[in-house]
Amino acid sequence: MIHLKNYNLKNSNTFQIDCIAENYYQIEHISELNQSDIFNNNFFKYATIISGGSNILLKSNKLNNVISFTNSDIIIEDGSNEKSILLRVGAGKNWNDFVRYCVDNQFFGLENLALIPGNVGAAPIQNIGAYGCEQESCFEYLLAYEIETNKVIKLKGDECNFSYRNSIFKESKGKYIISEVVYRLSKLPFFNLKYEELKKYIYTKYNKSFQLIDVYNAVCDIRKSKLPDPTLLGNSGSFFKNPIISKVQFNQLNIEYPLLKSYNYDDKSVKISAAFLIELLGYKGKKYKNTDAGVYEKHALILVNHGYATGQDVFDLSQEIIDKIFRKFNIILEREVNIL
């Protein structure tokens, strides 16, 4: 364990927001949490867990206790067979490095989630997804420290309450600390090309003759064309969830806005493009008042820090967008990022 005092989290969050952690703990193994007198229920009452900092907005300029896991091991678990492999991954493993490891070893299932920023420990919390795939499709179970009992527990997929960009870990904040995640990947070739843009890109470039690495590269190409590199322009990827509305409300909106992008969610609901709504309000490429917070010029779903924005600046911009979307379209826009 490494303990740092008054540590600036600017390089520990992809928005590149200045925020001081009065106590910053780097944890290699989860057993360290119950081997020290420091970590008790009172400690965790005011603790923040950061895993790569890719899906958070540090609204506060100071936090008390911050924990980050550094374990990045990938271990082949018992339970692998000729059709699939079971991989146990440390929470501190960079997500894209893990995806690339799978691709390089011909393990199929997570390639559509290439280049998503952050670490493996954050993936189940957000149930990250992109291009027609979510991490739950390959999720087997995870190991977590249950704060109330001071025990390491195992949670399977059906216990995690996965849904669109949601899980039990978002619904019950401050209850669990994820240390390792286990995924089952296929050894047999299969590709998820349900997302039309990805399918079109691959078929155009490879003429239906493609390999796993080609799908990975295609996803990377598409993401790079739309999304800013957080090392160059502070951001946390998609800031808002795509709203899910009734088909009745969608049909009414579609009359006035026939170009509104939509995807069937279930028999009664439709998922629509939040970026489209934000663009209609004229926010794309604009800065917020006299601050460095803004909306990315290539994708309206991305809020960015042009250099010196505070977490409060970004939050205020997001709130203004939420309020205007509701007044204009009677749609409640939800933040995808966690506000700290």
Q: Is residue 198 part of a domain?
A: no
In the residue annotation, 180 being an active-site residue is answered as no
- 123 assigned to some structural domain: yes
Q: Which two tokens stand for residue 213?
A: 């690495």
Per-residue pLDDT of the chain (340 residues; tens, 9 = 90+): 899 999 999 999 999 999 999 999 999 988 888 877 788 777 887 789 898 888 899 999 999 999 998 999 999 998 889 999 999 999 999 999 999 999 999 999 999 999 998 899 999 999 999 999 999 999 999 999 998 888 899 999 999 999 988 999 988 877 899 999 999 999 999 999 999 999 999 999 998 899 999 999 999 999 999 899 998 999 998 999 999 999 999 999 999 999 998 888 888 999 999 999 999 999 999 999 999 999 999 999 999 999 999 999 999 999 999 999 999 999 999 999 989 9
Question: Has residue 154 been placed in a domain?
Answer: yes
Is residue 57 one of the residues assigned to a domain?
yes
Count of C-beta atoms within a 10 Å radius of residue 190: 9
Q: Which of 168, 186, 204 is the last residue of a domain?
A: 186
Read off the pTM: 0.86
Residue 36 lies in a domain: yes
Active-site choice (165, 167, 236, 335): 165
CATH number of the domain that residue 64 is part of: 3.30.43.10
Question: What is the signed CA dihedral for 210, 215, 218, 222, rounded to 10 degrees?
Answer: 150
Q: Which of 68, 179, 238, 318 is catalytic?
A: 238
Distance between CA atoms of residues 216 and 200, nearest Å: 14
Residue 253 CA to its chain's centroid (Å)? 29
Residue 238 CB-density burial (10 A; 0-12 exposed, 13-18 middle, 19+ buried): buried
Spatial CB neighbours of 59, under 8 Å, sequence gap ≥ 6 = 311, 312, 314, 315, 339, 340
136 has catalytic annotation: no
Query: Which pLDDT value is given to residue 311?
Result: 97
Residue 80's domain comprises 74-186
Total of domains in the chain: 3
Q: Where are the beta strands (DSSP E) in 91-213?
A: 129-130, 133-134, 139-146, 151-156, 176-186
Which amino acid appears at position 289 of this protein?
A: K
Query: Is residue 196 annotated as part of the catalytic site, yes or no?
Result: no
Q: How far apart are CA 252 and CA 247, in angstroms?
A: 9
Q: Are residues 54 and 81 in the same domain?
A: no
